[in-house]
């Protein structure tokens, strides 16, 4: 397989377009009007809790499920009536689904055999694949004589051997233990870089999504509710659901008092300049724990509040010592629980019951004008 040379200055073009894609089972929308452009050569991950519509979307792309409505375009051509084996798409599932009675070599050769490739060409490609996934030594073994990770490498080789332009992977590492999963994640990332193919990957594991992907599409209830790099989605979540789903977050209920002003529990705050806020409109502030810090009262008194920062009074409820850092659970005067970073200039740890001042930079707090109570509850969303 030849590597695709990409000009990094040139943004990749769209390879696959999902347009208003729906999949209904009775009156239940498993996939609810999804539109998405997948770029040529990118590693894109569908991340979401179980039942959010990831696999159904991937299956429609693969051709195993027919959309209730909507379009799937590859290079501008509709795919909806093209059968799976003519789609130029490879697929790897969580269960390896290898043929138990065939050797590793014959498993990998299988897609070429059904495509009736000449034997010489077939052998050449299979050897190249064995090398790519580092299984040359195991070519004559049966799947049952391999570890889970090796079996999954066979499945990947089998999906890649006919050189599809697009590789779809549905929780391919889900059955493996953590260490092996991380090794294979690294291999997959390198494989993607070397081959330059487009990979669409499904996982419910946010760390895996972050490790692997150039972009992540966050699924919830059959919709894509966030799309971007892991960095952007984490630093600037587009909504409260994504903020809560990806990483940890503090949510503060505040009232807008003019564009960049707000009140929190009756105390004045500054917030990011946000258009169209009515006076006294309830908005939600989101601050990541690592962006908020707790200072002892003495420390706060000797450290002037920097320009563009906020401060609220709180009481420590619990301190967690984590080696290089301390995390601190606090409750504000008005009863809002927050998790923050404990700052200790003196090396003196904060103590439960101690009054503190919690500070954060206005620029680090996201402002949301719409949300649902369920968006703020990560536990409810996760599984
Ligand atoms: P995910 O892969 O994100 O876990 P799926 O795409 O598998 O989610 O499923 C999305 C929703 O569609 C789930 O609620 C699931 O129960 C439902 N679903 C999937 N396949 C069928 C089916 N064949 N019949 C009825 N409901 C289905
Ligand atoms: Mg699934």
pLDDT digits (tens, 9 = 90+) for 336-361: 999 998 876 566 778 899 999 999 99
Pocket test residue of 47, 53, 168, 206 for ligand 1, highest count of atoms within 8 A of CB: 53
pLDDT for the residue 168:
96
* Boundary (domain end) residue, out of 208, 241, 274: 241
382 — pLDDT class (breaks 50, 70, 90): very low
Residues 44, 19 contacting (CB under 8 angstroms) = no
Question: Is residue 214 assigned to a domain?
Answer: yes
Cα 119 → chain centroid: 41
* Boundary (domain end) residue, out of 222, 241, 260: 241
Query: CA 163 → CA 73, 89, 98, 211, 281, distances in Å?
Result: 19, 9, 18, 24, 55
pLDDT digits (tens, 9 = 90+) for 19-50: 999 999 999 999 999 999 999 999 999 999 99
Contacts of 235 (CB under 8 A, 6+ apart): none
Output Rg (C-alpha) for the chain, integer angstroms: 25
Distance 29 CA to ligand 1 centre (A): 9
Distance 258 CA to ligand 2 centre (A): 45
**Which residue owns the Cα nearest ligand 1 atom 20?**
56
268 — pLDDT class (breaks 50, 70, 90): very high
Length of the chain: 383
* Boundary (domain end) residue, out of 196, 223, 241: 241
Pairing assessment for the beta strands 43-48 and 215-220 based on DSSP bridges: parallel
Do residues 206 and 276 both lie within one domain? Answer: no
Query: Taken in order 149, 151, 154, 156, is the CA torsion positive or negative?
Result: negative
Segment among 30-39, 237-246, 261-270, 367-376 with least mean pLDDT:
367-376
pLDDT for the residue 378:
64
Do residues 208 and 271 both lie within one domain? Answer: no
Question: Is residue 1 assigned to a domain?
Answer: no
pLDDT digits (tens, 9 = 90+) for 214-242: 999 999 999 999 999 999 999 999 999 99
Query: Which residue reads 């695709």 in tokens?
Result: 4
Do residues 236 and 207 both lie within one domain? Answer: yes
If one compares 94 and 126, the residue with the highest pLDDT of the two is 126
Distance 55 CA to ligand 2 centre (A): 4
311 — pLDDT class (breaks 50, 70, 90): very high
Distance 126 CA to ligand 1 centre (A): 35
Do residues 149 and 253 both lie within one domain? Answer: no
CA dihedral in degrees (154, 155, 158, 159; nearest 10)? -140
**Which residue owns the Cα nearest ligand 1 atom 7?**
55
> Mean pLDDT over all residues of the chain?
91
Question: Is residue 68 assigned to a domain?
Answer: yes
Question: Is residue 7 assigned to a domain?
Answer: no
Q: Ligand 1: which atom is nearest the Cα of residue 31?
A: 10
Do residues 212 and 255 both lie within one domain? Answer: no
Residue 382: which region, alpha, beta or left (left: phi > 0; alpha: psi -120 to 50)? alpha
5 — pLDDT class (breaks 50, 70, 90): low
Average pLDDT over residues 6-31: 87
Cα 348 → chain centroid: 38
Distance 56 CA to ligand 1 centre (A): 6
Query: CA 325 → CA 61, 105, 356, distances in Å?
Result: 45, 50, 17
Query: CA 100 → CA 94, 96, 357, distances in Å?
Result: 16, 10, 63
**Which residue owns the Cα nearest ligand 1 atom 15?**
51
Q: How close are the terminal C-alpha atoms of the chain, in Å?
A: 39
**Of the bound ligands, which one is closest to the alpha carbon of residue 64?**
1
Question: Is residue 116 assigned to a domain?
Answer: yes
- Other CB atoms within 10 Å distance of the CB of residue 69: 12
Question: Is residue 155 assigned to a domain?
Answer: yes
Do residues 368 and 324 both lie within one domain? Answer: yes
Question: What span, in angstroms and rounded, lies between the C-alpha atoms of 255 and 83?
Answer: 54
Question: What span, in angstroms and rounded, lies between the C-alpha atoms of 80 and 370?
Answer: 36
Pocket test residue of 30, 47, 52, 58 for ligand 1, highest count of atoms within 8 A of CB: 30
Do residues 218 and 254 both lie within one domain? Answer: no
383 — pLDDT class (breaks 50, 70, 90): very low
Question: What span, in angstroms and rounded, lies between the C-alpha atoms of 280 and 171?
Answer: 45
Extended strands (E) in the chain: 14-25, 28-39, 43-48, 69-74, 77-78, 89-92, 166-170, 198-203, 215-220, 223-228, 250-256, 261-264, 267-270, 282-287, 292-296, 309-321, 326-332, 337-342, 355-361, 366-368
Question: Is residue 9 assigned to a domain?
Answer: no
| Residues having CB within 6 Å of any atom of ligand 1 | 25, 30, 48, 50-56
Question: Per-residue pLDDT for 381 more than 60?
Answer: no
- Token pair in block for residue 238: 């587009």
Distance 26 CA to ligand 1 centre (A): 12
Domains of the chain: total: 2
Question: What span, in angstroms and rounded, lies between the C-alpha atoms of 107 and 157?
Answer: 9
Do residues 41 and 109 both lie within one domain? Answer: yes
- Token pair in block for residue 151: 């079996």
CATH code of the domain containing 180:
3.40.50.300
Q: Which residues pair with 283 in a beta bridge?
A: 254
Distance 51 CA to ligand 1 centre (A): 5
Do residues 310 and 377 both lie within one domain? Answer: yes
CATH code of the domain containing 374:
2.40.50.140
Which protein residues have a CB closer than 5 Å to ligand 2 (ion)?
55
Question: Per-residue pLDDT for 204 more than 90?
Answer: yes
Question: Is residue 8 assigned to a domain?
Answer: no
- Token pair in block for residue 348: 């003196």
Do residues 66 and 215 both lie within one domain? Answer: yes
Do residues 235 and 253 both lie within one domain? Answer: no
Give residue 150's domain range. Answer: 14-241
Do residues 44 and 178 both lie within one domain? Answer: yes
pLDDT for the residue 96:
67
Question: What span, in angstroms and rounded, lies between the C-alpha atoms of 256 and 369?
Answer: 10
Question: What span, in angstroms and rounded, lies between the C-alpha atoms of 229 and 217?
Answer: 9
pLDDT for the residue 163:
84
From the list 181, 122, 178, the residue with the least C-alpha distance to 153 is: 181
Question: Per-residue pLDDT for 6 more than 80?
Answer: no
- Other CB atoms within 10 Å distance of the CB of residue 335: 7
pLDDT for the residue 346:
61
């Amino acid at each position: 397989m030849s590597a695709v040379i990409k000009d990094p200055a040139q943004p990749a073009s769209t390879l696959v377009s999902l347009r208003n894609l729906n999949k209904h089972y009775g009156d239940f929308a498993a996939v609810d009007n999804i539109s998405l452009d997948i770029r040529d050569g990118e590693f894109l991950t569908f991340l979401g809790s179980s039942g959010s519509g990831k696999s159904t979307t991937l299956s429609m792309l693969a051709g195993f499920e027919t959309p209730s409505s909507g379009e799937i375009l590859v290079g501008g051509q509709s795919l909806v009536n093209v059968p799976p084996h003519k789609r130029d798409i490879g697929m790897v599932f969580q269960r390896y689904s290898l043929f138990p009675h065939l050797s590793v070599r014959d498993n990998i050769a299988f897609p070429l055999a059904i495509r009736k490739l000449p034997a010489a060409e077939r052998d050449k490609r299979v050897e190249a694949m064995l090398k790519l996934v580092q299984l040359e030594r195991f070519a004559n073994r049966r799947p049952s004589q391999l570890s889970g990770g090796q079996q999954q490498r066979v499945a990947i080789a089998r999906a890649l051997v006919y050189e599809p332009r697009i590789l779809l992977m549905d929780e391919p590492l889900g059955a493996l233990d953590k260490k092996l999963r991380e090794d294979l994640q690294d291999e997959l990332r390198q494989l993607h870089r070397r081959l330059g193919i487009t990979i669409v990957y499904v996982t419910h594991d946010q760390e895996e999504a972050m490790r692997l992907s150039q972009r992540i599409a966050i699924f919830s209830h059959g919709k894509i509710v966030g799309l971007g790099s892991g960095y952007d989605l984490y630093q600037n979540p587009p909504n409260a659901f994504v903020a809560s789903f990806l990483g940890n977050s503090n949510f503060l209920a505040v009232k807008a008092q003019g564009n960049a002003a707000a009140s929190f529990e009756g105390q004045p705050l500054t917030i990011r300049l946000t258009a169209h806020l009515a006076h006294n409109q309830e908005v939600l502030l989101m601050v990541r724990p690592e962006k908020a810090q707790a200072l002892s009262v003495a420390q706060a008194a000797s450290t002037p509040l920097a320009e563009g920062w906020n401060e609220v009074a709180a009481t420590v409820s619990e301190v967690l010592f984590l080696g290089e850092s301390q995390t601190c659970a606090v409750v504000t005067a008005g009863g809002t629980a927050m998790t923050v970073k404990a700052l200790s200039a003196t090396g003196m740890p904060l103590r439960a019951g101690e009054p503190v001042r919690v500070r954060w930079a206005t620029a680090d707090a996201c402002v949301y004008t719409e949300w649902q109570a369920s968006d703020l509850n990560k536990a409810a969303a996760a599984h």
